[in-house]
Amino acid sequence: MASFSIRRYISPLIQVLAWGVLGLMLLLFQPLSWRVTLPDQFWVKQGVLFCLWVGLFYVNAFVWVPRLLFRGHTAWFIVAISVSIVIVLGLNNLVESWLHLPDLMYRAFHPEGGRPRGMRRGGPWFDMGALLITLLVLGISTSVTAVQKWQKDAQIRQDLEQQKVTSELSFLKAQINPHFFFNTLNNIYALTVVNVELARQALHTLSRMMRYVLYETQTGTTLLSQELLFLQDYIALMQLRLTDKVTVSFERPEPMHDVPIAPMLLLPFVENAFKHGVSATLPSRIYVAVRQFGPTLELEVRNTVFSDKRLSLDESNGIGLTNTRRRLDLLYSGQYQLAVTEQTPEQEYLVHLTLQTL
């Protein structure tokens, strides 16, 4: 908020400094004044001309450029610029005549008499310097306004893109959470028929997981330790309904360094292993390992392959994995690698995710 407030005053401050520098240049850097003492009326004229340039700058910046040039009325913009140049030079000559500046300048340059080259005694002359500076002021005004519009449009596009990404992430996350809880509740329902006490423990574990999802994941990131605790609860919950033929292993990094991570990002890979890697009659194995190497986080998930189950990560594995890929693209673009091996030599389905957490 403080940086935003400071940025509001940067542009006006730059403009004040620029006009101050231009005013000092008009006052101090006058080559003609090195040879003669210029009359006071000359400086009055310079002050009036300076005010005309300031007014022309802002009229062009706030009226002609946005209302004519930016709306495609290029011909009218050129007409407005041409008329403004004529008005500024005409007012410049009018002020010179009113102050009798040509006569005074004539006397200042030629006190001994004679007519200076290019100057008509008793009347104004064409001020090439005023014309060049008028063109410069118009050019700078147009350029500054165009750059500011480009920056504003770029900021608007960035804000819209950010809003789009935020909305999409919220939508994807909203899809993942009900998907997980729907499957888990089905498991608990089946467990109540077999063992009420285990079902009660499962409900307690699920309530703790729901508190995590509802209250700990709303800021967009969570700590790795909390995410791993959530995974551990999920695995413990799933183990309640497994038979002795299923071996489940879960490894956490030791020691672990807490880093921020997107919540519910690792769960779909583990959920996929339990969905496709468990058999009621055949021996099966699920292996989940999370490792840390500095800022690099690795997830390895292995599960036994069964010929009667589809194991493609991109096909019919539910909306969770598809959305996880999309979340990775949005949140960790260029910072992750996801490798999927559908059948290893050990007859296992392997998912290997490498993520840069910093």
Q: What does the pLDDT profile of the chain (358 residues) look like in tens digits?
A: 444 445 555 566 666 666 666 666 565 545 444 455 666 677 777 778 888 888 888 888 888 888 888 888 889 988 988 998 888 888 888 887 887 666 666 566 666 655 544 444 444 455 677 788 888 888 888 888 888 888 888 887 777 677 666 655 565 565 555 666 777 788 788 778 888 888 888 888 888 888 887 777 777 788 999 999 989 998 988 887 778 889 999 999 988 889 998 888 888 899 888 888 888 788 899 999 999 998 899 999 999 988 765 544 444 444 557 777 888 888 888 899 999 888 888 889 999 999 998 7
H-state helical runs in the chain = 2-28, 40-59, 74-98, 101-109, 128-194, 196-215, 224-239, 267-276, 319-331
43: nearest Cα among 58, 20, 57, 23: 23
Contacts (Cβ under 8 Å, ≥6 apart) of 291: 251, 253, 297, 298, 300
Q: Is the pTM of this model over 0.85?
A: no
134: nearest Cα among 75, 89, 93: 89
Q: How far apart are CA 287 and CA 278, in angstroms?
A: 12
